[in-house]
Amino acid sequence: MESESHDSPSIANTSLAPTIKDASQLLEQHADVRDSVQQRGPSRGFAWFQLWAGLMTPIYIAVFLFAFSADAGTAGENNPGNFSQTSLLIVPILAFSALATGARERFGIRTALPRLIWIPLGVALLGMFVLSGLSVFDVLYPSWLIVLVALTVLIPLVAPAIVQLVRAPTPQNHAPTAYARLSRPVQITTAIMGAVAGLLVASGTNVIVSMLVMLAALAGIMLAFVLNESPWTLPRAGYEWGWIQWTAFALATSTLFLFAVLNPLSVSVSPAVSVMSGIAVFAIMLVAAALPAAAIEEPVDATPLAAEPAKVPAPAPDAS
């Protein structure tokens, strides 16, 4: 009896000792948590998004000023094409603002603009306002001012994104990216966005159609900001979108901007070309809605790594 009682603690201690397999699993989990903690900061995906957003803003400013510049001969004219230009420019930039809200939520990044960015941005917006006023009153100004205003925004927005893209940490475990289909509400929302963009392109200089489509689009965008928690909103679409969907949106937006500058350039587009271009835009967004996006990574739970307190075996009863 006495020998058995002395052997029992050693047996218990042996059963508590971790095996090589358990130690390997703990090391792998520790690496996952380390990569997850590193990705709490700005990731490469967020850096690419910031670069895309940094290009979107100055391009929009340049297209807006060029489309309504007096130098192009459109200011002060009662041209029905001017209203179509307005719808081609306002709708995509407002939609992008709502989509960007959801994208930032996906990356978990909420940053205030530093002084290095918001001061040039404010100066550029002021310049945009002044040049727009000159266009309204048919005051000619050199075209290089448009380039200067756009560059004032481009440099402070794009340069930090490039630096962040270079410095962003790369996960050490190169696991293949998992893809998942968009949720049904986001698929439908993406298809509706394609339909709206396609109608804006196809309507051409038809003021009535452009006005109705723009009013419907603006109502939907405003509703997206009110119904913040609904899965049918643009922020939710931006939250789930992957690079395929963002590329499709970039192509659709580029087409809208292209048609916005055709009228100032006195380039006549036939109704057939407008309709075919609108159908192409809708088809691109429809395909993007059906394709999968990178699965949203859930944060790694570190609780399994917490070592359970070792159970100290009770002392063996004294045989005496």
Looking at per-residue confidence, does 153 or 136 come out higher? 153
Dihedral angle sign, alpha carbons of residues 280, 286, 291, 295: positive
pLDDT of residue 1 exceeding 50 = no
Highest mean pLDDT among 35-49, 54-68, 271-285: 271-285
Question: Domain segments of the chain: what residues?
Answer: 33-295
Return the H-helix or E-strand segment holding 153: helix 144-167
Would you call 142 exposed, middle or buried from its count of C-beta atoms within 10 A (0-12, 13-18, 19+)? exposed
pLDDT of residue 276 exceeding 90 = yes
Q: pLDDT confidence of 29, banded at 50, 70, 90? A: low
pLDDT score of 196:
93
Residues 6 or more apart whose CB falls under 8 angstroms from that of 16 comprise 310, 311
pLDDT score of 19:
73
Which pTM does this prediction carry?
0.74
